[in-house]
């Protein structure tokens, strides 16, 4: 699923210094430090940093994914090919479009429900269960269930349109129908994650603030608008960037449900890399596409990081 990693600036993450004594550390401690850190460092370098370096390298060669060896040197021509390829840009756009379609819903709707649920005295476990349970369901199982509900004529969702006097779109045959299908599925599936993040943040808010507001005669809606939402602003920012980054990395549900169809009109960029790199064995080319995409993702992260830092220093 959508794993995301981001530094949250302004947090308490600094190197914790028990022994920040000046000068050289004692030799035994130096050795112990490296021994403790080595397993992590080795795996980290090999499998987190390694692929970045290998990707850069491979993108300059005519590598065949399934054949041993690296192929012949081709310079930057893979990049030239990728950057002038319409299918690549179409897939980049599909990933961006998916982000534009899902992010507003997945940032605002869970916020609304987290705020409403937090005001209720009873049954919190039930809401948490209902909203968060889908998060632990594997993508393939989600797709199996939704594919069944999207079946033309007999599917539950197809029929649900009929109950409201509407005609269901062609979920698998038309581009707009396919986007609808994928977005609805994604909202159902990942709604709970953001809901939990908001709920946790709301519980941090001190009860006294509300009591004071109530004494001042603030109604429930005013409390939400004047207290809860402003206090939650950093959380909303965090949820927003996490959502953007994980939506930009969409693959599972579009691939399993639609294989990027109809006619590749929903194919996200990871599937483009999958198709060119693994189905067509064009390793060097797909590595170049990977690096372009990688840079975009890193720029989004760094951009957010800088914005947050500026905001924080302005607030400080």
Binding to other proteins in span 248-307, by CB under 8 A: 249, 251-252, 256-257, 259, 263, 270, 273-275, 277-287, 290, 293-294, 297-298, 301-302, 305
Q: Return the residue of 93, 220, 307, 310 that touches other proteins, per CB under 8 A.
A: 220
Separation of alpha carbons 123 and 140, rounded Å: 30
Separation of alpha carbons 271 and 175, rounded Å: 17
Please, how many CA atoms are within 13 Å of residue 282, restricted to the half-sphere of its CB? 15
- Taking the complex as a whole, the smallest distance from the CB of residue 13 to other proteins amounts, in Å, to 5
Separation of alpha carbons 316 and 309, rounded Å: 10
**Does residue 167 touch other proteins according to CB under 8 A?**
no
Q: Which residue, 30 or 313, has its beta carbon nearer to other proteins?
A: 30
- Taking the complex as a whole, the smallest distance from the CB of residue 21 to other proteins amounts, in Å, to 7
- Which residues, numbered 122-161, are part of the site for other proteins (CB under 8 A)? 123-149, 151, 153-156, 159
On whether the CB atoms of residues 65 and 278 are closer than 8 A, the answer is: yes
- Which residues, numbered 180-219, are part of the site for other proteins (CB under 8 A)? 188, 191, 193, 196-197, 199-203, 205, 207, 210-211, 213-215, 219
Separation of alpha carbons 152 and 178, rounded Å: 13
**Does residue 15 touch other proteins according to CB under 8 A?**
yes
Q: Return the residue of 89, 96, 101, 118 that touches other proteins, per CB under 8 A.
A: 118
Separation of alpha carbons 5 and 20, rounded Å: 28
Q: Tokens 């800088």 sit at which residue?
A: 306
- Taking the complex as a whole, the smallest distance from the CB of residue 101 to other proteins amounts, in Å, to 20
Separation of alpha carbons 304 and 8, rounded Å: 10
């Amino acid at each position: 699923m959508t794993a995301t990693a981001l530094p949250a600036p302004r947090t308490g993450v600094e190197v914790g210094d028990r022994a920040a004594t000046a000068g050289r550390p004692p030799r035994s401690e130096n050795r112990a430090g490296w021994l403790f850190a080595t397993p992590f460092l080795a795996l980290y370098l090999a499998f987190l940093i390694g692929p970045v370096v290998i990707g850069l390298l491979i993108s300059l060669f005519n590598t065949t994914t399934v054949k041993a060896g690296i192929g012949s040197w081709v310079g930057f021509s893979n990049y030239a090919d990728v950057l002038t390829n319409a299918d690549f840009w179409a897939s980049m756009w599909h990933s961006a479009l998916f982000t534009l379609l899902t992010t507003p819903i997945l940032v605002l709707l869970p916020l609304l429900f987290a705020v409403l649920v937090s005001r209720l005295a009873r049954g919190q476990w039930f809401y948490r269960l209902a909203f968060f349970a889908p998060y632990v369901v594997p993508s393939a199982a989600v797709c199996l269930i939704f594919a069944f509900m999207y079946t033309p004529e007999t599917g539950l969702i197809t029929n649900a349109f009929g109950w409201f006097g509407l005609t269901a779109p062609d979920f698998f045959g038309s581009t707009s129908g396919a986007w609808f299908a994928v977005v609805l599925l994604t909202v159902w599936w990942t709604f709970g994650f953001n809901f939990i993040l908001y709920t946790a943040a709301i519980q941090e808010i001190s009860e006294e603030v509300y009591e004071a507001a109530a004494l001042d005669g603030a109604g429930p809606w005013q409390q939400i608008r004047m207290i809860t939402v402003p206090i939650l602003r950093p959380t909303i920012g965090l949820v927003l960037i996490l959502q953007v980054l994980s939506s930009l990395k969409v693959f599972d549900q579009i691939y399993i449900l639609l294989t990027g169809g109809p006619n590749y009109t929903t194919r996200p960029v990871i599937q483009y890399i999958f198709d060119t790199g693994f189905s067509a064995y064009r390793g060097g080319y797909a590595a170049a596409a990977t690096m372009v995409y990688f840079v975009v993702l890193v720029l989004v992260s760094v951009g957010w990081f800088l914005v947050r830092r500026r905001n924080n220093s302005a607030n400080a």
